[in-house]
Amino acid sequence: MSKPLETTILPVDASKLGTITLSRAKPDALLDDWHVEWADSGSSVANLRHAASELRKGTHPVAFPTETVYGLGADATRSSAVRGIYAAKQRPADNPLIVHVSSLDQLRSLLRSPNDSSSVDPIPAIYHSLIQRFWPGPLTMIMPLPSPSPLAPEVTAQLSTFGARMPRSLIALLLIHLADRPIAAPSANASTKPSPTAAEHVAYDLNGRITTILDGGPCDVGVESTVVDGISGDTPVILRPGGVSIDELRTCPGWERVGVAYKDKAEMGSESESKSGAGEKEARVAPRAPGMKYRHYSPRARVMLFEAGGGVPGQDIVQGQRRIGLIRTKHWPRGCGFNLWEVDLGSDTRAIARGLFSALRELDRKDVDVILVEGIDEREGDVAAAVMNRLRKAAEVEVKGSQQLS
C-alpha cells in the first residue's frame, strides 16, 4: 500500500490576482481575447503559480474551484498525469474526462492533428453560436478527436470524441493559462460521492491522495456543467443537464430543436441490469459523457428521494430507522413531524442547486442512517432538471406516493 501524500490547502483570493483586459482582434471573432496584468506580489498569486507548476510537471492532480464544482485537474496531454486523476478518485477507467481550456487557440490545438496545416477553423460550426453566448461558462461541448490526438488516451476512454469547456471562474481560467496546458478535470471527489462545492469537501474525500487543493471559496452554480453533443447525430442533444438550460440553448442558431438524451440506455444501465446478458453488454459500453453511466453523487447514508408531488413522508416511511436526515426544499414543513437532523435549502431553485451536494455531505457527517429528500419539479427548467438528475443518481429509493422504507 502506498504511503499517504501530504495534502496542503492553499487559499486563493480572485480579487488579488491582477487585472483582466478584454479585446477583440477581429470583428467576427467568437470570443474576446483576454490579457492579465498580474499583481506584483501576494500569497494568492504565489499559490496559483505553485499549482500551475504542479500541473505542468507533476503526476499528482491539483484540486481547484470552478463556477460549477471543484475540479481535480491534470495535464490532459500526459498519460502519467491523467492516470493520477483516476487513482486519486478511484474512478472507473471507462468514464471520460472533460478537458478545460483557457482560450479558443488552445482548443483549436486539440482539434488539429500534428500534420494539419489547414486554415479552416476546426471548431465545428454548430458550436459557434454556443461559444458566443455561453463561454466562458457552465457548458461542455462534445468535440471530434483528431488522429493522432495530442490528448492522452486516458482522457477519452477510447471514444472518438471528447468534452471541452472554458470555465467562467477567474481562478480556473488563470490557472489553466499559467499552466499553459489543457486540463482534464472531473469533479474533485471520491468516485460515486457527492460533488464538492467547497475546499473542505475535497479535503474530506481526497486528503492523503493529492498534494494540493486551491481554496477559492464556495462555488456559484453548485451542479456540474451542461453537456451537449452537436456532432454525433442529425439533431443536437443534451447529454447531461446543468447550468445552461434547454430554453437558453434553443435561442441559439442551429439549436432550436435540441433534444434530451441523458436518459438513454447508457445512463439507464444499472447494477441490477448488468446481471442479465443484455445488461452485461450495456455495462461494457463507454458513456458518451461523464455522469451518464455510474451511480453517482451518493453519501454513505441511504438516500430516499420524494418526487415532486409525492407528499410529506409519514412515520411508516422511516420505521426502524434511528438516525434520520432531512433535506427540505419548497413545500415540506419544518421537521415533517420527526426528531431528526435537517437542512433547509429554501425555495429558490438556484439556491437549491448550490446547496444540494453540501447538504448531502453535512448529513452524512452526522452519521444518519437515511436521508429523506424533498424533490422539486424538473419541468421548472434545466437547473431543476439537473438537481433531480443528480438526486436520482444518489438515491436508492424513489417515492412517488406513500411507500414504506424497507
Decide: 72 and 210 in contact? Cβ < 8 Å.
Answer: yes
Q: What is the pLDDT of residue 64?
A: 98
Q: What is the pLDDT of residue 269?
A: 40
144 preceded by a cis bond (ω within 30 of 0): no
Domains of the chain with CATH codes: 8-215 (3.90.870.10), 302-399 (3.40.50.11030)
User: How many angstroms separate the Cα of 291 from the Cα of each of 190, 225, 266, 297, 362?
Assistant: 14, 11, 10, 9, 22
Tens-level pLDDT at each residue, the chain (406 residues)? 568 999 999 999 999 999 999 998 788 889 999 999 999 889 999 999 999 999 999 999 999 999 999 999 999 999 999 999 999 999 888 889 999 999 999 999 999 987 887 889 999 999 999 999 999 999 999 999 999 999 999 999 889 999 999 999 999 999 999 999 999 999 999 988 999 999 999 999 999 999 999 999 999 999 999 999 999 999 999 999 998 989 999 999 999 999 998 763 333 343 333 333 433 333 444 566 665 555 567 788 889 999 987 778 877 777 767 789 999 999 999 888 877 899 999 999 999 999 999 999 999 999 999 999 999 998 887 789 899 988 988 887 788 754 444 3
The residue behind cell 454548430 is 126
148 preceded by a cis bond (ω within 30 of 0): yes
**170: nearest Cα among 242, 223, 219:** 219
Q: What is the pLDDT of residue 24?
A: 86
Q: What is the pLDDT of residue 139?
A: 97
Give the Cα separation of 108 and 30 in Å (integer): 12
**216: nearest Cα among 48, 34, 345:** 48
Q: What is the pLDDT of residue 379?
A: 84
Q: What is the pLDDT of residue 401?
A: 53
Which three-class secondary structure state does DSSP give residue 23? strand
Q: What is the pLDDT of residue 289?
A: 64
Q: What is the pLDDT of residue 268?
A: 39
Q: What is the pLDDT of residue 279?
A: 38
Q: What is the 3-state secondary structure (H, E, C) of 62-125?
A: EEEECCCCEEEEEECCCHHHHHHHHHHHCCCCCCCCEEECCCHHHHHHHHCCCCCCCCCCCCCH
